[in-house]
Structure 1
Amino acid sequence: MNWIEIQIITASAGVDALCAMLTDLGIKGFSIADPADFQEFLQNKEGKWDYIDQDLLGMAQGDTTVTVYLPDNAQGAEQLVALRAMLAQIHARDDAQLFGTLELTLKNVREEDWANNWKQYFKPFTVGERLLIKPSWEMCENPWNRAVLEIDPASSFGTG
């Protein structure tokens, strides 16, 4: 199944109310990126942080967004129409600008983009002089006649 990724630009003050309204529309999952949260982390971080990735630091400068995924089918199209109508109503009544611009950015996402693409990073490798470790979906030659340990990532090693 394909999906439509919808990114809604909002304001920090409106995130909770917006997420509640999305839930009322039947949208159960969302991702929130709020620079205010990241700024709070930077100011109140606990522990010893000797490095923070530059990509993460960029989060402190961006817009507050709520991202949702709708199926790319008739049901998703209906939800998108309802979402646009809801956002138009909110924007018309938002004199205090609590919800920000409520602009939408849409992007198509193919299922295989996230279902199987992670597998490309796991390749067979040798350990010592006698062992070859490989994931089950990879085919590889074994000219050295090593013992082959076929094991898949995922839950094989906890979260690894």
Structure 2
Amino acid sequence: MKWMEVGVSTSQEALELVSNFLMELGSQGVVLEELPFPDGEGSGSCIAKGYFPCEVPLAELVGQINAYLAMLEHHGVSVGSKAIQTRALQEEDWASSWKQYFKPVRVGRRLVIKPDWEPYEAGPHELVIHIDPGMAFGTGKHETTQLCLEFLEEEVYPGARVLDVGTGSGILAIAAAKLGASRVWGLDTDPVALRYARENVIKNAVQHEVSLQEGSLSGLDGVDSPLDLVVINIRPDVILSLLEPLRRYLKPEGILILSGVLQSELEPFIKALRTAQLTVKGQRSRGEWITLVCTWVFSGS
């Protein structure tokens, strides 16, 4: 299968916003590069590279990116050079191009995310998650993933039943299992992502705890009793659309970890959560991103 790499030259200030927009446009993953100035001073320019199926109309895609960059400029965001470059890639080229940037990373108190091709000697209390994201989102480097992992470390307890919506590479589902969850369901609509997630589950020897399924919440199989925790690392509009169907899966005192919210989106997002009878019991930020921990306010509680 052929893919189209779309590289957008931008600024450090706009890098996360541009990478998020590429994902909203349908990119199957994003690689971020920070380039130093030739004189060695300053933070330099940045490139966000998105990867799209070749059948996506390229001219329309580039037009949408240019319009988004113009909108950011209009709102006072420095967007850098705004140059856009494209090239066609075979799937194997895509899946290998970003590996030079993926190194072991420690998250929270005990979790370490390690790619297969990098050596790492684990400490006595560390939980190492072996990940090859392939073409799926979830290397452990993005702020939203790290915030989810930190909250999972705090909220998952032995025997917990967990659902990971939009599982991507499977990193959050695997982390939940390694943290003691007895049953974990990972749900995604992307069959390519699930292919890599299944490989990662086996590499981490959690195939007895983690069940991966393709599709939507309406087709979720095997959940025969209420869940203790649900984690969703997507975008606010998608999260809000999932809240009502999630109510029947989560037990009354259950935890929702909601990630993928930008600082600029937080106020209306929290208002929408309150309208859905959710209360925010905690939140954490990193860069422009916010992750929240919520519970439902059930009548009679």
Shorter-chain TM-score: what band?
A: 0.3 to 0.5
Q: Answer 1 or 2: which has greater strand percent.
A: 2
Q: With a CA cutoff of 8 Å and minimum separation of 6, indicate the structure with the bigger relative contact order.
A: 1
Q: Of the two, which has the highest radius of gyration?
A: 1
* TM norm structure 2: 0.26
* TM norm structure 1: 0.46
Q: Answer 1 or 2: which has greater helix percent.
A: 1
